[in-house]
Structure 1
Amino acid sequence: MSQELRLLADIGGTNARFALESASAGLADIDVLACADYPTLGAAMQAYLGQAAARGCAVQGLRHAAIAIANPVEEDRVSMTNHHWSFSIEELRVQQGLATLLVVNDFAALAMSLPHLGLDGRERIGGGIELPNRPIGLIGPGTGLGVSGVIPAGGRWIALAGEGGHVSFAPSSKEEVAILEALWGEYGHVSAERLLSGMGLELIHWARTGKRLEAPAITGAALAGSSADCLRTVEAFCAILGSVAGNVALTLGATGGMYIGGGIAPRLGKLFTGSAFRERFEDKGRLGPYLARIPTYLITEQYPALRGVSAMLSDHVAALH
């Protein structure tokens, strides 16, 4: 690989995904590091670059980098809400010897990839008709809950960077009212993220059964069919996700499609695709027919946010010249 290398990263609360990119070869040398293994983001970057160099990548001439991170990015100081890393963008740029360091919200980067996803990078859930050059919505439960979208503007797309995962949770059934009441007593404000995340699976299960189980155990038992309680917890999770996704689609007017990302839904397989997600997505009273026309897709491409942050870096570098 040549000296035109750029460093790309997608940083979540649990994993840091890194890649190198060149104009000729595209994305290469993708690696995933556990955030908990490194005291700082800078240390994780150096570890990745050292390993890439050992694999024969010419990282010495690297000048441009872009990071998508699971956090609001509004000023120079970034302090992650789902991990302990905190850093100054400018200080990190200087420490890493970079000419350019772009830091953006991870779901804004993921949203930027959506207009370019191929048919092999997504799975349709339910009906609907995708309209060209219309707003596209995005929601993704993982360590937290990401919400974003992209809006067409002439010949390009503009990503929305927001914190829609922290909107107040609104129950849609008596069971969900009971879950909300249980969590009110624990947390006061109950956000959508409080339920639609790894911790959310655990809290739904606790509120329903009184039992404390970790998320992998809940999804594992549900997938194996070994626990009716765990299966009902996953079913409740998918239904709530459908309701919140419908809210996002209505808010954005996402007639270009609504996409589901994050780490949880793809792991659920048929438990998700066969769940009440789509039914609850459309269950908005008089606006049900409007939502029925919006297609919903599960993102299946492995590293879409890296492609999105690459596009954002290209736009950023071009604007500097």
Structure 2
Amino acid sequence: MLVADIGGTNSRIGILKDREFLNIKVYPSKEHQNVYSIIERYFSEVFLENLPEKVYLAVAGPVFEDKAKLTNLGWEVSVKELKKKFNFKEVFLVNDLYGLALGSSFLSNKDLKTLKKGKTKKKFPRVFLAPGTGLGISVLIDEGIVLPSENGHTPFCPLKKEEYAFLEYLGTLNEEKCWEKALSGKAVSLWYQFYFNQTLSPEEIFNLAKKGEEKALKIVETMLELLGRKTSELALTFLPEGGIYLTGGLIAGLKEFLAKNNFLDKFLTGYFNNPKMDFLLERFPIKLITHPYPVLLGALAILRNR
């Protein structure tokens, strides 16, 4: 089976055989015109005795009626066109956070790092929060039952004077005034522009922060507090006694900082921002996903459930 996770920044594509991922390639998404050209490139670069007849395709955008639109790339993809172009007999086209939630039962303890212990041993529901190019969110209600969402596009709710100013700044840039623009890879650069009137990439900002540069550290602290607040919002919305799971490109950039108590405290300050509800927020464990291809695990779940 061909498996692919098509994100706004990077696309991961490989082969699933005997429950093992093989020949994984990572391509910058914007080097391509569409999903089909990524698959074509992969087939041209990787020798396969026989082309796969099945494909699992997880994309960063909503999926309806066997069609998907990738929100931050503007691409469209359909089951019909995939079958026509590549002679696939079976196509499993899913939202990326749907695939992440579906495949989460294949995560082992070594694929997870606990940020906050919980007070419940229930398995469900679970919430998945993945800030990357965008801000993906889904809920695993029970085994095999997933509620995908586009919650990252809901309006950002400022609580501080500078956050109200940031919201106005987004307006001057004709940017969407949503959570995705406040908490994502792109948001790292937007906050830096807002505070310091200078444009740097998220990678440049994180590298400066690792060297102790004060302005970059301010952005890291902003991201951690907002991550905590968004996690808290989802906790109170879904009461996820199975836990809250964090992954995505932004989380990868913050991982090193979350290992240090002073930065972890910033995240927890954001999470416990409503003292009235601490008794409830304490119940839910929060875990970091460290598996390199967690979205691709959804393919294992689909094959198991057939």
Do 1:131 and 1:257's aligned partners in 2 also have CA atoms closer than 8 Å?
no
Give yes or no for the alignment of 1:231 onto 2:217.
Answer: yes
Farther-moved stretch of structure 1 (250-259 vs 76-85): 76-85
Q: Is 1:29 paired with 2:23?
A: yes
Q: Displacement, 1:188?
A: 6.9
CA contact (8 A) 1:257 1:295 kept: yes
The one-letter code sitting in structure 1 at the alignment partner of 2:230 is V
Matched residue, 2:111:
121
1:262-277 alignment runs, 5 A limit: 262-274=248-260, 275=263, 276-277=266-267
* 1:51 aligned onto 2:45: yes
Alignment CA distance shift 1:26-1:213 (3 Å): closer
Residue 199 (structure 1) aligns with? 186
What is the CA-CA distance between 1:255 and the residue it aligns to? Answer: 1.4
Partner residue, 1:42:
36
Give yes or no for contact 2:66–2:93 (8 Å, CA) kept in 1: no
Indicate if the aligned counterparts of 1:179 and 1:204 stay in contact, CA closer than 8 A.
yes
Distance in 1 of aligned mates of 2:10 and 2:291: 17
Q: CA deviation at 1:314?
A: 4.7
Q: 1:202 to 1:209 in 2, by over 3 A?
A: same
- For the 8 Å contact 1:19–1:30, the answer to whether it is kept is yes
Question: Paired residue for 1:3?
Answer: none
Instruction: Verify: 1:135 aligned to 2:125, yes or no.
Output: yes
Q: Distance in 2 between matches of 1:133 and 1:85?
A: 35
Query: What is the aligned counterpart of 2:282 among 292, 298, 301?
Result: 292
Closer, same or farther: CA 51–212 of 1 in aligned 2, 3 Å: closer
Residues 149-168 of structure 1: pairs in structure 2 closer than 5 A: 149-152=139-142, 156-168=143-155
- Aligned residue for 1:211? 198
Matches within 5 A, 1:74-89: 74-89=64-79
The whole-number CA distance in structure 2 between the counterparts of 1:314 and 1:173 is 47
With over 3 angstroms needed to count, the CA separation of the structure-2 counterparts of 1:269 and 1:78, relative to structure 1, is closer
How far residue 280 of structure 1 moved from its aligned partner, in angstroms, is 1.2
TM-score, normalised relative to structure 2: 0.92
Q: CA deviation at 1:285?
A: 3.4
1:72 and 1:222 mapped to 2: Cα distance?
Answer: 34
**Structure 1: distance between partners of 2:248 and 2:158:** 22
Instruction: For residue 259 of structure 1, report the CA deviation from its aligned partner.
Output: 0.8
Which ranges of structure 2 fall in alignment gaps of 5 or more residues? Answer: none
Equivalent position SS for 1:278: helix
Residue 98 of structure 1 aligns with an amino acid whose one-letter code is: F
Kept in 2: contact 1:138–1:258 (CA 8 A): yes
The TM-score normalised by the length of structure 1 is 0.88
* Structure 1: segments with no counterpart, 5+ residues: 1-5
Q: Contact between 2:102 and 2:140, CA under 8 Å: does it hold in 1?
A: yes
Shift of the alpha carbon at 1:247? Answer: 0.8
Instruction: Give the paired residue count.
Output: 302
What is the alpha-carbon distance in structure 2 between the residues aligned to residue 277 and residue 59 of structure 1?
Answer: 48
Q: Distance in 2 between matches of 1:93 and 1:191?
A: 36
Query: Whole-Å Cα distance in 1 between the matches of residues 24 and 120 of structure 2?
Result: 31
Q: CA contact under 8 A between 1:266 and 1:298: conserved in structure 2?
A: no
Secondary structure of 1:39's partner? coil
In structure 1, how many angstroms separate the alpha carbons of the residues matched to 2:253 and 2:206? 9
CA contact (8 A) 1:204 1:237 kept: no
State the 1:19 CA deviation.
1.8
Whether the 8 Å CA contact 1:130–1:255 is kept in 2: the answer is yes
Name 1:251's counterpart in structure 2.
237
Distance of aligned partners of 1:38 and 1:183 in 2 relative to their CA distance in 1, 3 Å threshold: closer
Aligned alpha-carbon RMSD (Å): 1.9
User: Take 2:194 and 2:28, find their aligned partners in 1: how far apart are those partners?
Assistant: 30
2:105 corresponds to which letter in structure 1? Answer: P
Q: Which amino acid in 2 is paired with 1:176? A: E
Matches within 5 A, 1:85-104: 85-104=75-94
Q: Which runs of structure 1 show a deviation greater than 4 angstroms over 4 or more consecutive aligned residues?
A: none
Change (3 A) 1:188 1:47: closer
Q: Residue in 1 aligned with 2:101?
A: 111
Q: Distance in 1 between matches of 2:127 and 2:149?
A: 12
Alpha-carbon shift at residue 33 of structure 1 (Å): 1.8
